[in-house]
Structure 1
Amino acid sequence: MKETVKEVFSAVVPITVLVTILQLTVAKLPTNVFINFIGGAVLVILGLTLFLIGAKVGFLPVGEMVGSSLVTKGKLWLILFFGFVIGSAVTVAEPDVQVLAGQVDSVSGGAISKFIIVTAVACGVGIFVSLALLRIFLRIPINYLLVIGYALVFLLALVTSPEFVAVSFDAGGVTTGPMTVPFILALGVGVASVTGKRTSSSDSFGLIALASIGPILAVLLLGVFYK
């Protein structure tokens, strides 16, 4: 708990101090707005602390156990299917994804609904989590998959609206949040460890790298249809 509290303070306190300095010098925000900001910062510290403790205590062990249990079943299709389901589910639960989808919905005036963005991002992560798990079994070098994945990203960016290009890369970023990363990382460690390979850590980190490409491609494809 002490380590988690330290991590949260190091993330939240600097921006809080910076805004306070700006308030006392050049920004001069309305008093009620600044008070709301300070109160919100306190709530963020409390909320993130509880959230991260819950993720470390509950999600990390369960993710690793689920990954190892799936491999013992001996059916590749089952592992890939549940990789997709788990990747999609934790993405829907990711707070950063919900915030991004809500902002896109608001800015577009409802033309691109929150549901559509969340669904596209979740499916993108789910598909690429399955692909990353398949890589562990087929021993495909991650460099090949990353090059192919980003080549597709840049090709789609040429035929997609600029607005969707911007949102797509944001979507790739928000899927590396405190909910998605611990669980998927643990899932990869569980799968790789049971396969008897010595590179379980690198395989699980590669899983995160690939999973972040999925939402970028998904939103770019969404932009092609909305164009």
Structure 2
Amino acid sequence: MQNIKDTVKEVIYAVIPITLVVIILQFTIIWLPLEMFFQFLIGVAMVSVGLILFLLGVHIGLLPVGEMIGSALPKTNKLWMILFFGFLLGFVVTVAEPDVRVLANQIDLVSNGEISSNILIYSVALGVGIFVMFALLRIIFNIKINHLLMGGYGLAFLLAAFTPANFIPISFDAGGVTTGPMTVPFILALGVGVASVLKGKATASDSFGLVALASIGPILAVLILWVIYG
């Protein structure tokens, strides 16, 4: 019950500021048609209810399951299994990410269907899955995150030199949208589970940085996609 109250407060504190700003602008500068303004208020109510249910689902289902999977995989003592399921989970959770679908639909619209939304979604998901594997390898073998970040972004800038200029911002946006409400909780929970089992080889702090690494994958994947289509 306390968890529900905390979630409701969290959503209210998050939604109220933007709602107040729009209301102030409505009666001072923009003066939207009343129909559109009422649609906004209805949308705010629907978003608030949706966020409450979503965050409750994350706390009740995604986080515990992610940690359990992360803690169970190292106990198999099979590196290929840890990497395979890390890739698979990173892939499927990105396909389900709402932010990725919004970006894919926008690009499909701008490119007049030349780059279909499905191609972009699966490319981004593939990039996330591969770099989740690298993130798990970092935890297992205690690799410094600085090396992976410098290598990943170095390769991204190198590919950017061969990519049409109009598509470079889209590629980096693809990395940003993977830090959405579906992907982040699950990947973080997965890392926490893996790090909690590998005591002596990894500390709790090693479970962080997974999202930073996972966001490099979509950038590289989309840059490669643009090189192919360009």
TM-score by length of 1: 0.96
Report 1:186-201 matches (<5 A).
186-197=189-200, 199-201=202-204
Letter in 2 for 1:219: V
- Within the alignment, does 1:142 sit opposite 2:145 as a pair? yes
| Other-structure match for 1:87 | 90
Q: How many residues align?
A: 227
TM superposition outliers: structure 1 runs of 4+ over 6 Å: none
| Other-structure match for 2:12 | 9
For 2:50 and 2:138, locate their aligned partners in 1 and report how far apart those are by CA, in whole Å: 36
Alpha carbons of 1:5 and 1:162: their partners in 2 closer, same or farther (altered >3 Å)?
Answer: farther
| Other-structure match for 1:165 | 168
Report 1:80-119 matches (<5 A).
80-119=83-122
- Within the alignment, does 1:69 sit opposite 2:72 as a pair? yes
Worse-matched range after superposition: 152-161 or 40-49: 152-161
Offset of 1:99 from its aligned partner? 1.1
Offset of 1:217 from its aligned partner? 0.9
Offset of 1:141 from its aligned partner? 0.4
Residue identity over aligned pairs, in percent, reads 63
Offset of 1:3 from its aligned partner? 2.0
| Other-structure match for 1:25 | 28
Q: Could you tell me which runs of 5 or more consecutive residues in structure 2 were left unpaired when the two chains were aligned.
A: none
Letter in 1 for 2:123: A
Give CA deviations for 1:196-220 in whole Å, capped at 9, x if unaligned. 1475432221211101111111111
Offset of 1:158 from its aligned partner? 1.6
- Within the alignment, does 1:121 sit opposite 2:124 as a pair? yes
1:52 aligned to 51, 55, 60, which one?
A: 55
Q: Residue 189 of structure 1 contacts residue 200 of structure 1 at CA under 8 Å; is this kept in 2?
A: no
Q: Residue 195 of structure 2 contacts residue 202 of structure 2 at CA under 8 Å; is this kept in 1?
A: yes
| Other-structure match for 1:184 | 187
- Within the alignment, does 1:208 sit opposite 2:211 as a pair? yes
Q: Could you tell me which runs of 5 or more consecutive residues in structure 1 were left unpaired when the two chains were aligned.
A: none
**SS of residue in 1 equivalent to 2:208:** helix
For 1:10 and 1:198, locate their aligned partners in 2 and report how far apart those are by CA, in whole Å: 40
Give CA deviations for 1:21-46 in whole Å, capped at 9, x if unaligned. 11111112122111111111110010
For 1:157 and 1:9, locate their aligned partners in 2 and report how far apart those are by CA, in whole Å: 41
For 2:91 and 2:192, locate their aligned partners in 1 and report how far apart those are by CA, in whole Å: 18
Offset of 1:2 from its aligned partner? 2.0
TM-score by length of 2: 0.95
